[in-house]
Chain A
């Protein structure tokens, strides 16, 4: 299994293979993280606790806002991360 954290400011890491909940994985620049949800291949998990409304970084850039508190090791996807861009009904922020 390979876990990729792409940039020193990133809040998430990507796994190249499925990870079962409870598995401990080594993340570069962070150390051991216990994954708390099942993570499908190609998906990402939080490498630190993120508060609701926090900006979430990948590739060293913002990929969206946390829509709820995200514990370390949790699956980060559409249920807890939302785009800040291309929203209908208003000017882009």
Chain B
């Protein structure tokens, strides 16, 4: 604030990545069967444990390997402890190679190298404690906000999402982009019926065609499987909140993208190549989207919710923005920012400026409520990439 060169935040220098807003020690089991031992070993060490479940049964697909390596090289990750078993040792080697190329300090613990379960748990504990101690020795320095990539998401939308929290996030995105930063707009199944507005904002015909094609691919995917999205989109919770059709939900959802030109469309987990508003082709599932945005390098996620979705990314601090007074009051332990004030007279500009300040404070180290609660979720899209599912996205 008050700096003539523009807005800044206090972050961590990286050699081959964007600056981090955290310097996290992260432990990641490469085999779901190791989850319990990793939990026991990492408890109370300060390390962030990524909860890995069945999604990694596809771990050997090039898509999954890429996304896991990109997720673990998110700018906020300072040190990685991989835990592998006999069956995942080759995967550990491949991911370690990727992380080392990006200068992410990485070590691997192999279950078969330990002679006892207690010894393995102890070695997990020691590795996590060592990673935490190492990460704590690094100091923050000042960076321009143009170094930021911010992810946006809405989960548990209601009739207010498109009126309050989403356009408030849109104001933050506009401000960030005006200062040279980048933002991600995702969940393309929830852009059905609003793709024409995104296409109109595209910087060139190719980008316009790509965003339209990606949205229509999700729509035709549903048709190919004989699915009628009208039962699921909007979801029953969305419908209780007042949303009737997917078009209505979509028009409110894209308000998160603000008003600047659409500069690029990228695949799931792919890092943008330029500043500005970027669309990422992801499914609509909340946790899968967060994983994709973190893999793309988003340092912070702005997550709007009308129903009170209690989720967060293990590596990208996730700020919850309430759409209505009820969710903001009743779930105050989950909601970082109450955007419902715009329903009772505060301007979008004022609320947007306040959320922008909260985002900068969070970037500079103030923990989000999800971080305080260790509300950390991780999931990959089933069957691999959204492109594989959607077929004709390109």
CB distance from B254 to the nearest CB of A (A): 9
From A6, A41, A81, name the one whose CB has the most chain B CB atoms within 10 angstroms: A41
How many B residues are at the interface, by size bracket?
35 or more
- The CA-CA distance from A14 to B247 in the complex, in Å, is 16
Task: Point out the residues of chain B lying under 8 angstroms from A62, CB to CB.
Answer: 193, 247
A83 in contact (CB, < 8 A): yes
Is the Cβ of A61 less than 8 Å from the Cβ of B194? Answer: yes
CB distance from A43 to the nearest CB of B (A): 4
Stretch at the interface among A20-28, A30-38, A85-93: A85-93
Task: Point out the residues of chain B lying under 8 angstroms from A53, CB to CB.
Answer: none
Is the Cβ of B193 less than 8 Å from the Cβ of A92? Answer: no
Is the Cβ of B163 less than 8 Å from the Cβ of A6? Answer: yes
Task: Point out the residues of chain B lying under 8 angstroms from A83, CB to CB.
Answer: 193, 229-230, 245-247
Q: How many A-B residue pairs have CB under 8 A?
A: 107
Q: Nearest residue in A to B221 (C-beta to C-beta)?
A: A86
Interface bits A60-93 vs B (CB < 8 Å: 1, else 0):
0111100000000000111001111111111110
CB distance from B322 to the nearest CB of A (A): 13
| Contacting residue for B230 out of A43, A77, A87, A92, CB 8 A | A87
- The CA-CA distance from A82 to B227 in the complex, in Å, is 16
CB distance from B99 to the nearest CB of A (A): 39
Task: Point out the residues of chain B lying under 8 angstroms from A2, CB to CB.
Answer: 343-344
- The CA-CA distance from A40 to B160 in the complex, in Å, is 12
CB distance from B200 to the nearest CB of A (A): 11
The number of residues on chain A lying at the interface, defined by a beta carbon within 8 Å of a beta carbon of chain B, is: 31
- A:1-19 near B, CB below 8 Å: 2, 4, 6, 14, 16
| Contacting residue for B228 out of A64, A81, A86, A91, CB 8 A | A86
| Contacting residue for A59 out of B216, B220, B251, B343, CB 8 A | B251
Q: Nearest residue in B to A88 (C-beta to C-beta)?
A: B228
CB distance from B20 to the nearest CB of A (A): 37
B197 in contact (CB, < 8 A): yes
Q: Nearest residue in B to A80 (C-beta to C-beta)?
A: B244
Q: A14-B163, A16-B343 are in contact. Are A77 and B244 (CB under 8 A)?
A: yes
Is the Cβ of B219 less than 8 Å from the Cβ of A92? Answer: yes
Q: A44-B242, A92-B219 are in contact. Are A61 and B233 (CB under 8 A)?
A: no
CB distance from A38 to the nearest CB of B (A): 13
CB distance from A33 to the nearest CB of B (A): 18
CB distance from B263 to the nearest CB of A (A): 23
Interface pairs (6), CB distance under 8 Å: A41-B324, A42-B160, A44-B242, A83-B246, A85-B245, A88-B228
Q: Which 7 A-B pairs have the closest CB atoms?
A: A42-B159, A42-B242, A86-B229, A88-B228, A83-B245, A63-B248, A43-B242
Interface residues of B, Cβ cutoff 8 Å to A: 158-160, 162-163, 192-194, 196-197, 216, 219-220, 222-223, 225-230, 233, 239, 241-242, 244-248, 251-252, 306, 324, 343-344
